[in-house]
Amino acid sequence: MPLLEIKSLGINFGGLRAVNNFDLEIETGEIVGVIGPNGAGKTTIFNMLSGYYAPTDGTITFKGKLMNGLRPFQVAQQGIARTFQNIRLFPQISVLDNVRIGFHPRAGYNLVDSILHTPRFIAREAELTDQALDILATLGLEDKAYIKANGLPYGAQRRLEIARALAVKPDLLLLDEPAAGMNPAEVGRMVDLLRFVKEKFDLTVLLIEHQMGLVMPICDRLVVVDFGEVIASGLPQEIRDNPKVLEAYLGRSAVA
Amino acid sequence: MDKKKQVIMALASVLVLYAVLEALMMVGIVGPYWQEIMRYAMVVTIGALGLSIMYGFTGQFSLGHAAFVGIGAYAAGLFNLTFRHYGILAFLGSLVVGAVVAGVVGYLIGVPILRLKSDYLGIATLGFGFIVTNGLQNSDKLIPALGGARGMTGVPQVQGFGWYYVLVLIAVILARNFIFSTHGRACTAIRENETAADVVGVSPARTKIMAFTIGCALAGLGGALYAHNIPFLHPDSFNFLESINYLIVVVLGGLGSLTGTVITAVGWAFIWEVLRLVLGPLYDFRGVIYAIILIVIIIMRPQGVFGGIEASCLVPQIKRRKTHAAAGD
């Protein structure tokens, strides 16, 4: 059974068919890339996967469970975490707290423990702090734990978003353009980081990316989307040489 | 100075402050008039802590906060009026009743209206405030003891400043515990970025309703004290303008700062009296001066006087299980 199974997924915004008949199966442990030109519907697919948009038709099955109709926080609790193309941190609170919020559904104490700071609260809170600092250390952010998130440089903010997603303890991590706005050297470091994180946390990854420098070395498989439909899928090398893909990116006349 | 010492120092200064105030009252330097204002300051502080949690920490705008203070005041007043022969027990019971009734009403109102965002939520809470004041004005048709537009009288008064002082301390400690927990962090996450909070597993609806209910319960507790400080309850004491006052306290103190809320609330309760002393014959212009003070402060510190600042004795130490050296494995 695949970890994630998407069948003939589609969504309409008024008269616009943003995604049409999208199929995808992801096995546990894979890294799959979704590529395609701007406006192809990639982020819309992510938004349906993470519960923001209710699909007009089709099904999303995760770990054998139908995900259609779940709210984003329920999707997260089922084990799907994501990052955003335009970084969305909690800017005014500490880096540590950004990560600790990811533990919220599994904090292990209730509101009464919170209000009275019971022994259970104190024990669990120490444990959560340890876990959060471990995750931060993995992403090279431990020494920044006590500063506000908006005080981090851009690259570190990207890493913090990944750290926060890891706190959700996901089985599947959705990364929306993790290397957006990065130069080739930074992209290289992001490739290493994602590989490391994937192994350490035993993840399956689905990512959207434009930077071929990230997609080509890291992805086991690629899916190319244009106008809301899959136009090609296969190994990265196959995709690179596929004329339909070149056409979608560069236009018909350029290829011909 | 380590954390333990800080907390001990803070508790010691709280005790010393109390002793000084009691001594001043005993020797008559602080007379009954000022004592009433001191108690009123405590009422405002507890109510403002509620709005601070709702708005300052969770970002849910309310223009009807005084209505919840009013609900607490009337509920507590009615309770103590009914059970007055139980003396101080009736007083303590009425505190619980005021907080619980306001909390329950807040929950019931919160469920439908917290779907709304910012300005729209403001308008909905404003509407609720009008419902409450109008309801209270006609309340005597249902429960004669509430007095309707004539106001409610006869609630036994409790004038020991110690009660008020202790309850503020308890409210501050509980609010601080809540804020520095996973539930408080969830609230802040909702304020900072609702979408991002949602995607890491924080239910926006549940978190907002939780914050709103707690905030309203604190307003109710403040109201319950109000009913025992002023022998005459009137619907107009909990109207829209009074809600604005709570908002001013929280915004001026700084959103997301308990320290700011407490200090500004106390300061606000005294400002009219201070203006009376300072202005002398110009006292008729107090409204003008007060507004100028507000405008100047908000221009100079738009984030509020204590925006982003928390007294360090309120911030719990971050405790870890393992030692720092072992953190890498």
For range B155-162, the mean pLDDT: 92
Residue B52, Ramachandran bin (φ over 0: left; ψ between -120 and 50: alpha; else beta): alpha
Tokens 């470091």 -> residue: A189
A125 and A184: one domain?
no
* Domain final position from A164, A192, A212: A164
Q: Is residue A84 part of a domain?
A: no
A69 and A136: one domain?
no
A71 and A12: one domain?
yes
**Total of domains in chain A:** 2
A70 touches chain B (CB under 8 A): no
Residue range A39-83, pLDDT digits in tens: 899 999 999 999 999 999 999 999 999 999 999 999 999 999 999
- Please indicate whether residue B45 or residue B324 has the higher confidence score (pLDDT): B45
Chain B residue numbers touching A128 (CB-CB < 8 A)? 182
A124 and A13: one domain?
no
Contact A117 B182 (CB under 8 A): no
* Domain final position from A139, A164, A189: A164
pLDDT-wise least confident of A134-143, A200-209, B2-11, B94-103: B2-11
A199 and A156: one domain?
no
Contact B192 A107 (CB under 8 A): no
For residue B90, give the H/E element and its range: helix B88-113
Two structure tokens written together for B213: 């209910």
Contact B182 A104 (CB under 8 A): yes
A62 and A184: one domain?
yes
Q: Is residue A154 part of a domain?
A: yes
The whole-number pLDDT of residue B325 equals: 45
The whole-number pLDDT of residue A253 equals: 66
Q: Is residue A87 part of a domain?
A: no
Q: Is B34 exposed, middle or buried (0-12, 13-18, 19+ CB in 10 A)?
A: middle
Two structure tokens written together for B214: 């707690």
Phi, psi (degrees; rounded to nearest 5) at A168 = -70, -10
The whole-number pLDDT of residue B298 equals: 87
Phi, psi (degrees; rounded to nearest 5) at B24 = -60, -35
Chain A residue numbers touching B184 (CB-CB < 8 A)? 114
A118 and A226: one domain?
no
Any residues with CB less than 8 A from the CB of B115 and at least 6 apart, and which? B205
Model confidence at B1, pLDDT cuts 50, 70, 90, reads low
Q: Is residue A120 part of a domain?
A: yes
Of A101, A113, A126, the CB nearest to B200: A101
Chain A residue numbers touching B186 (CB-CB < 8 A)? 101, 104
Contact A114 B319 (CB under 8 A): no
Interface mutation vs chain A, best among B185, B199, B319, most A CBs within 10 Å: B199
Cβ within 8 Å of B, A 190-219: none
Q: Is residue A86 part of a domain?
A: no
Round to whole Å and give the CA distance between A25 and B258. 49
Residue range B17-75, pLDDT digits in tens: 999 999 999 998 898 999 999 999 999 999 999 999 999 999 999 999 999 999 999 99
A73 and A188: one domain?
yes
Strand A172-176 relative to strand A80-82, pairing = parallel
For residue A253, give the H/E element and its range: helix A252-255
A129: helix, strand or coil:
helix
For range A72-95, the mean pLDDT: 96
Of B177, B201, B256, the CB nearest to A76: B201
CB distance A131 to A106 below 8 Å: no
For range A92-118, the mean pLDDT: 96
Q: Write the DSSP symbol of residue B105.
A: H
Give the structural domain span for A112: 94-164
Q: Is residue A42 part of a domain?
A: yes
Residue range A225-241, pLDDT digits in tens: 999 999 999 999 888 88
Shortest distance between the Cα of B285 and any Cα of chain A, in A, equals 39
Tell whether the model's pLDDT for residue A123 goes beyond 90: yes
Residue B117: other Cβ atoms inside 10 A: 12
CB distance B240 to B62 below 8 Å: no
The whole-number pLDDT of residue A38 equals: 87
CB distance B57 to B191 below 8 Å: yes
A75 and A175: one domain?
yes
Q: Is residue A85 part of a domain?
A: no
Round to whole Å and give the CA distance between A153 and B125. 39
pLDDT-wise least confident of A200-204, B51-55, B152-156, B277-281: B277-281
For range B220-231, the mean pLDDT: 96
Q: Can you give the CATH number for the domain in which A63 is found?
A: 3.40.50.300
* Domain final position from A116, A145, A164: A164
For range B82-103, the mean pLDDT: 96
CA dihedral in degrees (B22, B24, B28, B32; nearest 10)? Answer: -60
Of A90, A125, A137, the CB nearest to B189: A90
A176 and A250: one domain?
yes
A187 and A65: one domain?
yes
B32: helix, strand or coil:
helix
Q: What is the ipTM of this complex?
A: 0.91
Q: Is residue A213 part of a domain?
A: yes
For range A138-165, the mean pLDDT: 95
Q: Is the sign of the CA dihedral A75, A77, A79, A85 positive or negative?
A: positive
